[in-house]
Amino acid sequence: MAGKFGTLLALAAVLGMPLAQAQDKVLVLFLSKSAGFEHSCIKQENGLPSHVDKVLKQIGEKMGAEFTSTKDAGQVNAENLKRFNVVIFFTTGVLTEVGADKNPPMAATGVEELLTWIRNGGGFIGYHCASDSFHRDDAHPESPYLDMVGGEFLTHGAQFEGKVDVVDPGHPAMANFPNPWLILDEWYAFKNMMKDKIHVLA
């Protein structure tokens, strides 16, 4: 997550603060393109919104944010990003390719346009599998996108209840979290962690 609006959205969610108290409205672009594996919670069937689309819409209405949900990665471009304060990725695979879900890909310049927008203050939030996009391989040894995310998905096992420890209790985003707390989840293992460039909160 980067930029003041990304931080604002996360803090508002954590603190239970309506976004209207912080600014009039936060405009959010939610991208759920699956060029690789598609999770069931973001599948759109019979033209209906996915489970995640519906949940985010409800959250947005309660918090005064406006969510635009899409599977069209081509919407991540310099001109369109000007309309938004925050971009959320729930994505897999190489988003510049049509891939598994057959939805439109990002342009070849899309990643750099996204990163430029973030450097200029745009907020970014990566949900769950966002680190499972733009993997490094022999043909693509560099991944500026994953450098920005801070790590690269390696694998996961079955869901289990895990303990989360707050490592920066002074950060305002951690104010309402118990330390430690237990979460039943599908825990990811990562590789290529950018430990010298990321700020871990928990």
Cβ(88)–Cβ(55) below 8 Å: no
pLDDT at 74 over 60: yes
The pair of structure tokens assigned to 42 is 């973001």
Report d(CA 112, CA 170) in Å as an integer.
Answer: 33
Average pLDDT over every residue of 130-148 = 91
The pair of structure tokens assigned to 1 is 């997550």
List alpha helices for 65-193, DSSP H: 78-81, 110-119, 144-149
Residue 9 banded pLDDT, cuts 50, 70, 90: very low
pLDDT at 1 over 50: no
pLDDT reported for residue 115:
97
Cβ(70)–Cβ(88) below 8 Å: no
pLDDT at 183 over 50: yes
pLDDT reported for residue 176:
86
The phi and psi torsions of 86 (rounded to 5 degrees) equal -140, 140
pLDDT at 4 over 50: no
By the 10 Å C-beta count (0-12 exposed, 13-18 middle, 19+ buried), 129 is classed as buried
pLDDT reported for residue 177:
87
Average pLDDT over every residue of 49-58 = 93
Report d(CA 90, CA 30) in Å as an integer.
Answer: 8
**Considering the entire predicted model, what is its pTM?**
0.85
Residue 51 banded pLDDT, cuts 50, 70, 90: very high
Q: At what angle do helices 51-63 and 4-15 cross, to 10 degrees?
A: 90
List alpha helices for 64-107, DSSP H: 78-81
pLDDT at 111 over 80: yes
pLDDT reported for residue 23:
55
Q: Which residues, 6+ apart, have CB-to-CB distance to 124 below 8 Å?
A: 1, 2, 3, 6, 86, 87, 88, 89, 114, 118, 148
